[in-house]
Amino acid sequence: MLKLFMHKATALDSLSPPTAAMTSEPQTQSPDIPKPDEAAEAVGAALAWNPFRHPKNFASMFRLWGKVPTTKTEHAAEVALLAHGGIAVSTDDAPAASSSGTPARIIDVEIDDSGNYIHTLAITGSSSSSSSTNDTAKPRRNLVMTHGYFTGIGFFFRNYHELSKTEDWNIYSIDWLGMGRSSRPSYTSKRLGSEDERVANAESFFVESLEEWRKRMGLDKMTLCGHSFGGYMSTLYALKYPEHVERLVLISPIGIPRPPEGYDQMLREGRGPLRRPRGTTPEPDSNKVSNSSVNSSTDKGATLDPPGPSMRRTLFFRVAMGLWERNYAPQWLVRSVGPFGRRLIDMYVGRFVWLPEEQRASLAAYAYQISVLPGSSEYALGDILRPGAFARRPLVDRIAGITVPITFMYGANDWVDSTGGEEAIRELGGRVKTSLFHVPKAGHNLHLENPADFNRILISEMGASI
């Protein structure tokens, strides 16, 4: 059972293991990011709720079973992680713990009369003035970042500082409703209805909550940047509300390609799609692949297992399918095993060897805090994706309706194959501006694994949104 859920989480969230190329050259942050000395106390508070660090005996761990970390420890873990990226966080109730670093505010933006809210990081500033005699202020534009599955706003901690330097831009980052530190309303699946009803219900939950957030924030236009699951939902938002989107930036988005040929037969036989082995794709000479250079390959980025899978594998896969269809999620496992849940998170984040040890500790503390909160929209995953992370309604069949420029970004060693983005570009047929980038020395977590190149490309595309 443990192996089953770890496999599912690895395939879908942003917690992917490193590649050989990444381990040899760990990425460093910009030299001007302040050292987060003041975060030490917050890190200690966030790590304190960990029975493996200070149990007097084995039984003491079980007395903590079912204990939920408080909002105070959630906040401490988030602030400590962001401090590693040079971000000094303040809230309505508390000033920033450090006077150094890029100032940012944490806001819980209410989106309905029931008290539901979207947890938001905001980095804003005053507009620059023109050199004209009228000295009119140039309006600020808005970048809105949306995270992937099983993560939150803290997973962009290596990007905010550099992005905030972009003149005349506000930087916002949100936790999807029911995820991260946003409110956790009850999510009602339509899995007993038709597949179209099931998908539409799940997609509406996220798209409409994002639209309510936009209204409450008073943003007319935004560049919408989404990673993985966030890229999928950002695309759906742009399809429904194109008048509020300047550009889409899709970071290793899931749900674009159609399933490979023979997919349904594969599921019946208990076989799964094979992903491209990590590190097997050669680094491109240029990071950018333009619309005109997209090849006509029909490779879907996944093949079928060899015929004749073992009985053990077939049984394992069928159990996994059953859990998937019933909307079980990795977070459910983390909560269910009580004090052992933190150990599971440590195992995941421990494989992020390209992060310095202190950053890994802070990331693990943060990831644990947001994983053990009450279950909510995490259960929508099975309503949107089929086993193997293929969308029930692939975006490639809908993306022709996009009317705004799109940027695709993939890691050079990404488990999400860039052929999905290439196919989407072909479907668009040159009707909108498109670009596709491969970020070297990075996998699915390209914003974490190679922040220097990721930030450079994103800032360049923000400028292209004019």
pLDDT one-digit tens code per residue, 393-452: 999 999 999 999 999 999 999 999 999 999 999 999 999 999 999 999 999 999 999 999
Q: Which CATH architecture has domain 2-127+138-464?
A: 3-Layer(aba) Sandwich (3.40)
pLDDT, tens digit (0-9, with 9 covering 90-100), for 366-395: 999 999 999 999 999 999 998 778 999 999
Average pLDDT on 59-75 reads 60
User: Do 109 and 217 contact (CB within 8 A), yes or no?
Assistant: yes
Closest CA to 228 of 401, 352, 410: 410
Range with the lowest mean pLDDT among 69-78, 161-170, 348-357?
Answer: 69-78
Higher pLDDT, 360 or 18: 360
CA 461, 243, 122, 352 torsion: positive or negative?
negative
Would you mind telling me the total number of residues written for the chain in this entry? 466
With 90 as the cut, is the pLDDT of residue 208 above it? yes
Q: Which residue has the higher pLDDT, 103 or 133?
A: 103
- Among candidate residues 13, 444, 447, 453, the one labeled active-site is 444
Q: What tens digit of pLDDT does each residue of 85-114 get?
A: 999 999 877 776 666 789 999 999 999 999
Edge-first strand listing for the sheet containing 222-227: 87-90, 102-110, 117-123, 169-174, 141-146, 222-227, 245-251, 406-411, 434-439, 288-290
Q: Note the pLDDT of residue 396.
A: 97
The pLDDT of residue 28: 47
The pLDDT value given to residue 370:
96
Active-site option among 13, 175, 383, 414: 414
**What integer is the mean pLDDT of 275-286?**
45
Q: What integer pLDDT is reported at residue 61 of this predicted model?
A: 42
The yes-or-no answer on residue 444 being catalytic is yes
pLDDT band at 313 (very low <50, low <70, confident <90, very high): low
Q: Looking at per-residue confidence, does 73 or 109 come out higher?
A: 109
Measured between alpha carbons, how far is 144 from 223 in angstroms, rounded to an integer? 6
> What does pLDDT average to over the chain?
80
What would the mean pLDDT of 269-273 be, rounded to a whole number? Answer: 64
What's the pLDDT at 138?
A: 77
Concerning whether 130 is annotated as a catalytic residue, the answer is no
Cβ–Cβ under 8 Å, residues 116 and 110: yes
Give pLDDT, residue 41. 52
User: Is there a catalytic annotation at residue 414?
Assistant: yes
Q: Considering only CA atoms, which of 258, 206, 208 is closest in space to residue 231?
A: 206
Does the pLDDT of residue 207 top 50, yes or no? yes
Name the least confident of 312-321, 347-356, 420-429: 312-321
**One-letter identity of residue 271:** R
Q: Which helix (H) or strand (E) holds 233?
A: helix 229-240
- Pick the more confident residue, 295 or 198: 198
Residue 191's pLDDT is 83
Percent of the chain, pLDDT > 90? 59
Continuous segment of H or E residues that includes residue 303: strand 302-304
In which region does residue 7 sit, left (phi positive, over 0), alpha (psi from -120 to 50) or beta (all else)? alpha
Q: Give the pLDDT band (50/70/90) at residue 308.
A: low
Q: Sorting pLDDT into bands at 50, 70 and 90, what band is 265? A: confident
pLDDT of residue 14: 43
Q: Which two structure tokens, joined as six digits, stand for 137?
A: 């202020």
Q: Which among 228, 252, 376, 377 is annotated as catalytic?
A: 228
pLDDT one-digit tens code per residue, 222-251: 999 999 999 999 999 999 999 999 999 999
Stated pTM of the model:
0.81
pLDDT at 24 over 90: no
